[in-house]
Structure 1
């Protein structure tokens, strides 16, 4: 049978089509060390081109852009590049330019990725644990992988299993392992297995490493699961913890620690009773944390359980307060130090301060807030003061002090060395023996005093104070208490461990009294150290006038005999480092005193006016004044010659004024003016006033007959006219009233009160209704003054 040959041109066409669809490469690239190389190694990269062109080679590392490299020519179609001491992953590529092949598509360049790394280290610290649980058990082995290889590793655990004492091998297994830098592998074993041997192996393209074979007896590496701690119930000195275990164990370990402490304390004899453990020997009012672990009869301890925490209950404070005192503005300020948590044994609610007299009779009992560390009580000598701290469970033992009469002794001279202050004193050879010493110190310019103190034994002779802050002035004393209840006080003052220039001046408060100015000031609490002096500056009319240096112990200064002018005053502070800036400037003014003669004259005039007013209250004086006053009175116009009277005369009808008040009513629409005769009276003698009465019409009148003007409007059925009549000498005089009431009786008219009271010189202002226009009216006004 003849075999048909496949046409060669068909094969060529198929190859060209496949190359066109696939995408042809212009070159081929490779490395003498492969794709994964060891760090710091040296190798060569080759590029072989498939057509004639101008070859080029590039390299890049990290995220940098490719850079052209200077390559070497191996032959007509191949170039190469030597790579020396590679330290990281990098990429190489080749390109072909200027190809003579006439193709429609540009050929792709070629590239190579190089991964740099290390061969694996031998694994270390191989350990295996046989975890026992309620449902299943498994062996977990772990080891340290060593340094990072930066390339892919293949890690495996090779295991062989044996019966008792490794007398026979049951099988060999390989298990994958994962993790870095600690690698783990786990597997299960049959119940007949009692011994295992393990080897860890790690391999990558740069090498491989393996651990020696390690054997384990399973009963020695058994580990139960961690216990579960549940409810915690605490008293003041013990706590009961409920514990749950999925696998029964024979050993239990309980640890505890206080809040903010790192060291755990093991609790001895942790016995599980009815699912609970009682942890004893605890302290009251502490925040305790607990954890537990368990172990079978053999094997390993379990992992630690989760931590549970709770407060123990409170107890009454078990220690007395450290109490001290200081005299503050004729009062005693009692100080105490807060109890340490270990002594307070609970949350302090308040402090009870009790004052006793010398016979221990209670004078007063007061309470201070739990945040306070001092309290003011009334000043008393040879009295006793106790201070107790109280929590929810009770009071502490009382801290006692006795307010003594202190004998002042010589001043101590402390020694400042390396920011510490050393104070020494000599034990005096006296009849009573010293029982103890108390050293107190406080910031001199702080109010109230932040008092600190330290009790010393009877054999002490010096103390080193380390907590004095820099740039603060301190003072204090050493108290010596003797067995006969007497006390000595050795003072020290103006101590600063460091000093600076003050940052500002005092606040000045001035009070001007005539030509004297009383100056006080408020000093800074922290002037930068101990004050050497205060300086007062005074300006007069914007010119420097004077300055005064004042002792640092003073808070008051008096400026005397200042002349009238505008003044300005301010102050500054000086320490051992120099004078500080001026404080706020205050303006004041000294006024010119008024002349003494003017003051005397004004005082005399006021006195005379007062005397005259008092004298005028006598009636005899009033009459005498009127005698001299009537000669000075001006003429008063006569109503008979007035314009109003002349107009009334021209009326055709004579109007008769008939006085019938009891039967008439005031007209609201009609008002007529009536002309009557008015006779001028002679000036009467100075006689007492005689009242007029309607009951004695025949009595002799004190004055001649006067015809008065009286106007009425009557509503009458017979006549609406207005009448005038002249009253007889025996008739009652009626006064003009613009508001006369229609229903008023004659008796009421006759008993009208006088216009002006007799005891007042000036009449009250009256509303007389419509006004009259008079041309010439003369009115006798003597009655005004006589009444």
Structure 2
């Protein structure tokens, strides 16, 4: 005989749907089996459906239960029959409310009154008998849902905790009864972006001063973008106000899309700036700073500044508090930019702020391997500042080339060697030293050398140990902490003595590495 069918369960999808039942057939007897599904209702009503498929485990009665008597009981039973006998499932008894699973809500939409994220209403349509809804929503870039259960919502609900200028995904599910029945499937997703609100938070502003001449100085202001949660919309422009405090004269400049601003002001007077960010709804609170000489107070200069590589594209900067009472320090600012021998002011500036109890900072933003960075640590106290600087890199190797000697001149029995800097992309980190080599032409003896510390601005050096009327070959190399470069170009020079000058114009010879 066939095994007894198990776990009979029935469902009607939607108020206008039909009753369908499923069951588990049990072990296969390998005999032809017929299944009969029977439904009994009030007033001795009976429906029956047959399935002549041995592997049958689903039948749809094709009838619709209506809500006239939502508490009326219905009983379903399935019977399996083969040539050896029959077996019936346990009866499954249910009401209309037990088995009707509502269709998912549809026509979902959202409205923001007065374009405000704080006055947001979600609307949808449901089947008529729905009593409960559950709503779930999340920012489109999040995996976590916010869940809300509502009763008798009648197709609308106010949401109060949405963030401005954020795309959300919304879904809704429905149920007919508090305890009975099952939830509908989730609706199709609605995606909508919330309106902007005026920015919150304040810009992080930093600046550089550069001497132009006896009466003028250049001020370059820099600021960081607000975070998405602070901007609360698309930033349309930044407003910069520059003011001379004693005279009260103000100059305002609107900037679109840029996060820096440069102007020229007199070297006299006390100057202050205020910078704010604006979107379509308003402006952030302005960040106000007084322009001062950031390195003027020597007693505030941080001590023993060091910069060491810390993994891939990170540099750990450490320092000791200044000699002046360390408690006077209100904050440290660590600033870094790519080192360019010409002092290019267009090179992007990076900085971070550190509380006064910190004596180290890990810098990682815009750090590239094999690039040397000029790093400054500022200690700020009221309207005073002190600074110390150091060069650092996250990764280094020996330079790819040596300096190019461009001229050798004689001056009172010694010579002055001038050279061109190694291109930045060939330095491969921070240069520590230059070496100048020389030996007599056609000599097999070891060359003599002079090692000089690297300075950004230096491009010449005297040598006074050459013998008159002897032709020498000279060349240069550069060193990082990882090693020495190959030779630069060779130049020949013969020191004539004090009466004559030879300008070292023998043709260049390529050196052998």
1:202 Cα deviation from its structure 2 partner: 13
Q: Cα–Cα, structure 1 residues 413 and 431, in superposed 2: closer, same or farther, change >3 Å?
A: closer
Q: Structure 1 unaligned segments of length 5 or more: list them.
A: 1-120, 204-209, 597-787
Map of 1:376 onto structure 2: 262
Match of 2:349 among 443, 448, 451: 451
Q: Greater helix percent: which structure? A: 1
The answer to whether residue 227 in structure 2 is matched with residue 322 in structure 1 is no
Q: Is the 8 A contact 2:405 2:476 kept in 1?
A: no
Q: Cα–Cα, structure 1 residues 443 and 254, in superposed 2: closer, same or farther, change >3 Å?
A: same
The answer to whether residue 481 in structure 2 is matched with residue 576 in structure 1 is yes
Q: Is the 8 A contact 2:307 2:391 kept in 1?
A: no
Q: Write the distance in 2 (CA, Å) between the matches of 1:176 and 1:507.
A: 94
Q: Matches of residues 499-538 of structure 1 in structure 2 within 5 Å?
A: 499-502=396-399, 504-505=400-401, 508=404, 510=406, 518-525=418-425, 527-535=427-435
Q: Is the 8 A contact 2:163 2:194 kept in 1?
A: yes
The answer to whether residue 337 in structure 2 is matched with residue 439 in structure 1 is no
Q: Cα–Cα, structure 1 residues 233 and 538, in superposed 2: closer, same or farther, change >3 Å?
A: farther
The answer to whether residue 123 in structure 2 is matched with residue 249 in structure 1 is no
Q: Write the distance in 2 (CA, Å) between the matches of 1:202 and 1:580.
A: 93
Q: Is the 8 A contact 1:500 1:528 kept in 2?
A: yes
Map of 1:482 onto structure 2: 381
Q: Write the distance in 1 (CA, Å) between the matches of 2:490 and 2:234.
A: 51
Q: Cα–Cα, structure 1 residues 353 and 505, in superposed 2: closer, same or farther, change >3 Å?
A: farther
Q: Write the distance in 2 (CA, Å) between the matches of 1:202 and 1:355.
A: 94
1:157 Cα deviation from its structure 2 partner: 6.7
Q: Is the 8 A contact 2:37 2:77 kept in 1?
A: yes
The answer to whether residue 187 in structure 2 is matched with residue 301 in structure 1 is no
The answer to whether residue 231 in structure 2 is matched with residue 344 in structure 1 is yes
Q: Cα–Cα, structure 1 residues 337 and 302, in superposed 2: closer, same or farther, change >3 Å?
A: same
1:450-488 per-position Cα deviation (integer Å, ceiling 9, x unaligned): 433333344x233341626554444434333334x3223
Q: Cα–Cα, structure 1 residues 400 and 262, in superposed 2: closer, same or farther, change >3 Å?
A: same
SS at match of 1:412: strand
The answer to whether residue 90 in structure 2 is matched with residue 188 in structure 1 is no
Larger relative contact order (Cα-Cα within 8 Å, sequence gap ≥ 6): 2
Q: Is the 8 A contact 2:131 2:151 kept in 1?
A: no
The answer to whether residue 275 in structure 2 is matched with residue 387 in structure 1 is yes
Map of 2:509 onto structure 1: none
Q: Matches of residues 582-621 of structure 1 in structure 2 within 5 Å?
A: 582=487, 585=489
1:609-659 per-position Cα deviation (integer Å, ceiling 9, x unaligned): xxxxxxxxxxxxxxxxxxxxxxxxxxxxxxxxxxxxxxxxxxxxxxxxxxx
Q: Greater strand percent: which structure? A: 2
1:432-452 per-position Cα deviation (integer Å, ceiling 9, x unaligned): 743333333444459644433
The answer to whether residue 94 in structure 2 is matched with residue 217 in structure 1 is yes
**Structure number with larger C-alpha Rg:** 1
Q: Cα–Cα, structure 1 residues 557 and 129, in superposed 2: closer, same or farther, change >3 Å?
A: same
Q: Write the distance in 1 (CA, Å) between the matches of 2:90 and 2:492.
A: 101
Question: C-alpha root-mean-square deviation of aligned residues, in Å?
Answer: 5.0
Q: Is the 8 A contact 1:253 1:292 kept in 2?
A: yes
1:343 Cα deviation from its structure 2 partner: 0.7
Q: Structure 2 unaligned segments of length 5 or more: list them.
A: 213-217, 501-513
TM-score normalised by structure 2 residue count: 0.69
Q: Write the distance in 1 (CA, Å) between the matches of 2:60 and 2:261.
A: 70
Q: Write the distance in 2 (CA, Å) between the matches of 1:578 and 1:144.
A: 79
Q: Is the 8 A contact 1:229 1:241 kept in 2?
A: no
Map of 1:229 onto structure 2: 107
Q: Cα–Cα, structure 1 residues 454 and 216, in superposed 2: closer, same or farther, change >3 Å?
A: farther
SS at match of 2:124: strand
Map of 1:402 onto structure 2: 290
Q: Write the distance in 2 (CA, Å) between the matches of 1:354 and 1:338.
A: 18
1:260 Cα deviation from its structure 2 partner: 0.9
Q: Write the distance in 1 (CA, Å) between the matches of 2:106 and 2:276.
A: 44
Q: Write the distance in 1 (CA, Å) between the matches of 2:5 and 2:317.
A: 62
The answer to whether residue 166 in structure 2 is matched with residue 286 in structure 1 is yes
The answer to whether residue 146 in structure 2 is matched with residue 265 in structure 1 is yes
Q: Write the distance in 1 (CA, Å) between the matches of 2:12 and 2:407.
A: 93
Map of 1:423 onto structure 2: 318
1:670-723 per-position Cα deviation (integer Å, ceiling 9, x unaligned): xxxxxxxxxxxxxxxxxxxxxxxxxxxxxxxxxxxxxxxxxxxxxxxxxxxxxx
Q: Write the distance in 2 (CA, Å) between the matches of 1:178 and 1:438.
A: 80
Q: Is the 8 A contact 2:332 2:379 kept in 1?
A: yes
1:376 Cα deviation from its structure 2 partner: 2.5
1:579 Cα deviation from its structure 2 partner: 1.6
Q: Cα–Cα, structure 1 residues 526 and 455, in superposed 2: closer, same or farther, change >3 Å?
A: farther
Q: Is the 8 A contact 1:124 1:211 kept in 2?
A: no
Map of 1:551 onto structure 2: 453
Map of 1:333 onto structure 2: 220
1:264 Cα deviation from its structure 2 partner: 1.9
